[in-house]
Each structure stands twice: as C-alpha cells, then as structure tokens.
Amino acid sequence: MGSLELRQWITLNHPAYAVTLSDDGQYVAVGTEEGVTIFNVTGRRLCVYPPGDAAMPVHQLTATPDLSRLYVGARQGWLIRLDLEREGEIFGFHAQILYQAENDLHTIALSSDGQFIGVGHLSPGLALLQADGHVLWRRHPDDGTATEGQIWTVALDAEGHTMYVGSAGSGSNILAALEARTGSPQTRHYLEAGVRVTGLAALPGGTGVAVVLTEDLYTSRLVVHDAGLSDLIWERIFDEPITALTADRERPILAVSIGYEGQVAIADAETGRPLASDLALKSVANGLAIVQGRFLAAATQDGHLVLIRYLSKELHP
C-alpha cells in the first residue's frame, strides 16, 4: 500500500470551502470566506480575487485543466468566471458574472472540455450553462418549472454528454442521469426516505459516477455506479460523514475526506480498494482536488490549504 505525505500546510486565516488544482499540479486555487486565492506549490500567493478589502465568501470552485479559466461560486448566488493570464509567476484576471441566483447556489460542475457548466440550486432548481454564461436550459421555481427535488449536487461527465444530479432535501430524494444539453432524464432513481445525495464525482472516460449517500450525522456510504446508473459497481460504508469527494480527471482514483478529523483517503475507483493509509488533517475538509493520480489539495474548516502527495507502493520497496 502507498502513502499520503504532506507537501505544504498553508495558513489562510479564514475557513476554506473549495479547492481546485491545475492539471500539472503546479498551481492551486482555494475559496474562503474572503474570496479566492491562487498559490504555487511552495505556498507563494500569486493572485487574490476580489482585490482590495472587498470580501466575497466562495464555497464552489472549478477550473479548466490549464487554469486559464476559473469558475467561482459565491454564497450570494453569483457564478463568476475569471479569465486568468499568467505573466511569469503572477496571475492577472478579467472577471465576469455569468449567472445570478440570489442566495441559491449550491454546487457547480465543469465538463473537462470547459464548454459546459452545471448548476445545482439550494431550491428546486437545476441549470446548464455554456462557457459564456448562455443558459441552455433551466428548471427553477422562479420560472414556474421547479424540479421535484432540491439542494442539488451536480457532476458532468468528461464530454459534457451526461449530467449527474442528486438531491438532499427532506423526505425521498433523487439520483438521476440527465442528457446534459436538454436536461431530459435518462435514468432516475428514488432513494429511501431520509437518504440524501451529498457528493458526486464523474469518473474519467465516462465509466461511471461516484456518489456519497448520507443517512444521518454519523453514517455515510460511498457507492460507484456505472455510467447509466443501472449497476452498482462497489460500495463502502463509513461510520462518520464523508465531507468531500473528488475524482481524478484522467486516472481511476477517488479521494474522500471522512469525519470531523479530516481523514483523507484515496481508493481505486474501479474496485474501491484503498491505495494508501489515511492522512488525518485534524479539521473537517470541506473541499478536495486530485490531479495526475498523485497531487492532492484540501481546504479545511480551520482555515488551511493542505497540499498532499500520494506515493504509490511501487515507489516503496
């Protein structure tokens, strides 16, 4: 079995909620109560948004693989696109508000080609946008087209063909696969009463989707379905909540954070087999990212950005 090793422990001074990595693992963006900051792997601060003394609580982040575009979800209900330009080690940016839903933004997801952005609302609402902010479709109570569920988590497959959605309201919730460009249901399952979808991650190559199912304050399940949600591939049960889930873009590896001590774990996405001993961050991890199957980043509730490296067992004689 391999190991997880700390690379950098960066103090942010504010609770951190979301994190994303460039595909080369050299740059990381983190969202906090104050806004977004980009760092390099040594912990050097390269860019801050919003600039100056303005504060904007950021709870969702996703980016194109080269980090040329960063999509920012703010608690006010704004979805903002930052077009980033790098001059040496310093990033400049141009900011544009793409979408607004007052106090009603729960999750966002970006297709790997950067062409589509899925939006899951706190209210009974879902939407799909193009990269320029054009809304391809929306189901929302403000439009008289409310969805059956609410508190939606979303994920897009690599090609942007399928949008996976799961709700976390009271009563019976839904796990579904939608035709991304139209929002038409392909497959839909009702979950047992009280079971909520609190995490989704599309697996690389369109092979399936990982789902976090939460039943109470103490119990959670990580399940992996095939791409059509027809077959359950594997399942693991935890006696603590899973607080963050992410999938590598290119490799079949999942990373999760478990419980109030922030136990970071990685597993083979195809089998569920653990790949390393867990690493405890001693604080809830609200966000995780993984690239190249070996570079990880975590955003913690106690205000830290943690950079981690996975060393596979092949590197351990």
Residue 317, pLDDT score? 40
Q: Is 103 exposed, middle or buried (0-12, 13-18, 19+ CB in 10 A)?
A: exposed
* Contact present, 133 and 147 (Cβ < 8 Å): no
Q: What residues have CB less than 8 Å from 184, skipping those under 6 apart? A: 178
d(C-alpha 261, C-alpha 239), whole Å? 13
Q: How many CB atoms lie within 10 A of CB 274?
A: 14
Distance in angstroms (rounded) separating the CA atoms of residues 79 and 61: 10
| pLDDT given for residue 55 in this prediction | 86
109 has a pLDDT exceeding 60: yes
> Are 180 and 160 within 8 A, CB to CB?
yes
How is residue 192 annotated by DSSP?
Answer: P
* Mean predicted confidence (pLDDT) in 4-29: 96
The answer to the question of residue 224 being in a domain is: yes
Flag whether 306 is in a domain. yes
pLDDT for the residue numbered 316: 42
pLDDT, mean over the chain: 94
* Number of domains forming the structure of the chain: 1
Cα separation of 86 and 13, whole Å?
26
Q: In what order do the strands lie in the sheet with 263-268?
A: 242-247, 253-258, 263-268, 279-280
Q: Does the pLDDT value for residue 113 go beyond 90?
A: no
How far is CA 264 from each of CA 113, 149, 254, 288, rounded to the nearest angstrom? 28, 30, 11, 9
Is 29 contained in some domain? yes
How far is Cα 293 from Cα 196, in angstroms, rounded to an integer? 28
pTM attached to this predicted model: 0.95
The closest alpha carbon to 171, from 201, 151, 141, belongs to: 151
Is 147 within the bounds of a domain?
Answer: yes
Looking at residue 314, what is its pLDDT?
64
Domain assignment present for 216: yes
- 217-267 per-position pLDDT tens digit: 788 999 999 999 999 999 999 999 999 999 999 999 999 999 999 999 999
Residue 234 covered by a domain = yes
Residue range 172-230, pLDDT digits in tens: 999 999 999 999 999 999 999 999 999 999 999 999 999 999 988 788 999 999 999 99
Which residue segment(s) compose the domain that 150 sits in? 3-312
What CATH number is associated with residue 261? 2.130.10.10
Question: Do the beta carbons of residue 144 and residue 167 sit within 8 Å?
Answer: no
The whole-angstrom separation of Cα 271 and Cα 122 is: 32
CA 177/CA 144 separation, integer angstroms: 22
**Does residue 152 form part of some domain?**
yes
Task: State residue 2's pLDDT score.
Answer: 92
According to the model, what pLDDT value does residue 67 have? 93
**Own/partner pairs, 217-220, CB within 8 angstroms, 24+ separation:** 217/241, 220/258
Taking the C-alpha atoms of residue 127 and residue 118, their distance in angstroms, rounded to an integer, is 6
Residue 317 located in a structural domain: no
> What digits encode the pLDDT tens for the residues 276-286?
999 999 999 99
Looking at residue 241, its pLDDT comes to 95
Provide the pLDDT for residue 312.
87
Question: What integer is the mean pLDDT of 306-313?
Answer: 93
